[in-house]
Amino acid sequence: MALERTLSIIKPDAVAKNVIGEIYSRFEKAGLKVVASKMKQLSRAEAEGFYAVHRERPFFNALVEFMISGPVMIQVLQGEGAVLKNRDLMGATNPKDAAPGTIRADFADSIDANAVHGSDSLENAAIEVAYFFPATDVYAR
Ligand code: RTP
Ligand code: MG
């Protein structure tokens, strides 16, 4: 496996639940390093741009409204096979389908308020990291 970077977002529901530290701990225990991080209140335009691939989907407006409902915690995770490893830690999109012990099984309330985002491919990871962080703000440690 190769050293990869992926974009992770702790969504407004999980920030409000005060579980940022618990989620970071899961990343670290799985061998993923936080190499960039910031808390941010997304504007509507930022949220729409980030999820632009879903623009035609029926859930798009609800997704954008949810993502701007409060601050999010955005981080770049680095590690061996980071993209898939993070998706495994997250669990299925709908927490009802998420395996026990995954972030979404433990902290998500619904398919809309589902605690975390993670890039779904190496190609999208590079695009998503660059969407939020200039290269100089990502630390290769
Ligand atoms: P994410 O992008 O946030 O990491 O989630 P994901 O890959 O697991 O799921 P994706 O298909 O990319 O969908 C993005 C977000 O849209 C909401 N969604 N709602 N009602 C629905 O059928 C539905 N499908 C997706 C979810 O909040 C999902 O995280
Ligand atoms: Mg997705």
Regarding the beta carbon of 112 and ligand 1, being less than 6 Å apart is answered: yes
CB 118 near ligand 1, within 6 Å = yes
Of 23, 140, 135, which is closest to residue 79 (Cα–Cα)?
140
Query: Does the Cβ of 114 fall within 6 Å of ligand 1?
Result: yes
Say whether pLDDT at 123 is over 80: yes
Residues making up the binding site for ATP:
11, 59, 87, 93, 104, 114
Structure tokens belonging to residue 6: 């992926």
Residue 140: what pLDDT? Answer: 85
* Strand stretches in the chain, DSSP E: 3-10, 33-40, 72-80, 116-118
Q: Could you tell me the two tokens for 140?
A: 């290769």
Q: With 80 as the cut, is the pLDDT of residue 141 above it?
A: no
Q: Per-residue pLDDT tens for 42-97?
A: 999 999 999 999 999 999 999 999 999 999 999 999 999 999 999 999 999 999 99
Quick check: 45 and 57 in contact, CB under 8 A?
A: no
Which numbered ligand comes closest to the C-alpha of 108? 1
Question: What domains, with CATH codes, occur in the chain?
Answer: 3-42+72-137 (3.30.70.141)
The pick from 48, 64, 93 for probing ligand 1's pocket by mutation, whose C-beta has the most ligand atoms within 8 angstroms, reads 93
- Asked if residue 114 lies in contact with residue 95, where contact means CB atoms within 8 angstroms, the answer is yes
Nearest atom in ligand 1 to 114's CA:
27
When the pLDDT of each residue in the chain is averaged and rounded to a whole number, the result is 97
pLDDT at 75: 98
Protein residues within 5 Å, CB atom, of ion ligand 2: 120
Say if pTM beats, i.e. exceeds, 0.95: yes
